[in-house]
A and B are shown apart, each in its own frame.
Chain A
Amino acid sequence: MDARASHLEEQLRCLVCQNQSIAESQADLALDLKRQVREMLAAGKSDAEVRDYMVERYGDFVLYDPPVKSSTLLLWLGPLALVLVALAGLVWQLVRRRTAVPAPVDERALARARALLAEKDES
């Protein structure tokens, strides 16, 4: 029972100090919500019922682990999409490099370079 309550409290965000769970927070509201969680569990409610109770009142924001639904798809799939885009870019670059034709060399510049190298060898 105590373990269950603690586990739940770690998944619920404190609305006042948003980067803490209500388990960590000593804010007044967090204390009230912890009391609420424990009372509900003592009354025989399931973990899911407690979570639903909180979401009904405070929205998905209260959950540290946001549910997958249409409004959170970008959140869940965004990183994956970025990885795919990066991979595609990498593959594209590799393919391009392999099939690339060497750039045409300016014959006069080449001749000059050879001359310079030859000069250096002589000295």
Chain B
Amino acid sequence: MKPKALIPFAIFLVLVVFLAIGLTRDPREIPSPLIDKPAPAFSLPQLAKPDQPLQLADMQGKVWLLNVWASWCAACRDEHPVLVEFAKQGVLPIVGLNYKDKRADAQAWLKEFGDPYATSIVDADGRVGIDYGVYGVPETFLIDGAGRIRYKQIGPITPEVLAKEILPRVRQLTGGQG
């Protein structure tokens, strides 16, 4: 066979490789431009204490997770046991951002499935969500002591995501502890 006859086959192979790589990527995961940028400021009422707002500055000096959740979000239900288990280990505080939810629904939800959050703050109209570029709940941000976003998880946190993405970064940020 002449080498020339192999050209269409070679082109086909290149195409297959590109398509195969394409299949392994999730087009719904849009890289956030906020990584390594200062977390957007907020001041939001807490779910349990509506008259006491929590501000971004209150978390200064801590490495913490901001977990966007809602009682209407089915994937949050899958994620929740992982968070509850993780919170028990006390590695770092998890703040819940209760996104476009009803207060009563949110409180009932935490009662039923357990509350892994140091506190949950209420973003009733989704404005803070827009500031954080939230487009699909659940989403989780890892924020360092200087208030910079270091990692964003789009979609549910799984034990694998915790072990591979979040914990190594936390160890790095806290200088080996945790």
Contacts and interface: CB of A to CB of B under 8 A. Distances in A.
Interface of A: 15-16, 18, 28-29, 32-33, 36, 55-61
B33 A58 contact: yes
A16 B136 contact: yes
Given A15-B136, A16-B136, A59 B30 contact: yes
Contact of B130 (A16, A36, A59, A61): A36
Given A28-B100, A32-B130, A36-B130, A57 B34 contact: yes
Contact of B126 (A18, A32, A56, A57): A32
**Chain B binding surface SS class:** loop
Interface of B: 27-28, 30-34, 100, 125-127, 129-133, 135-136
B23 to A, nearest CB: 17
Given A15-B135, A16-B135, 18 more contacts: A28-B100, A32-B126, A32-B129, A32-B130, A33-B130, A36-B127, A36-B130, A56-B33, A57-B130, A57-B131, A57-B133, A58-B30, A58-B33, A59-B30, A59-B31, A59-B33, A60-B33, A61-B31
B135 A59 contact: no
B135 A58 contact: yes
A57 B27 contact: no
A72 to B, nearest CB: 13
A58 B34 CA distance: 8
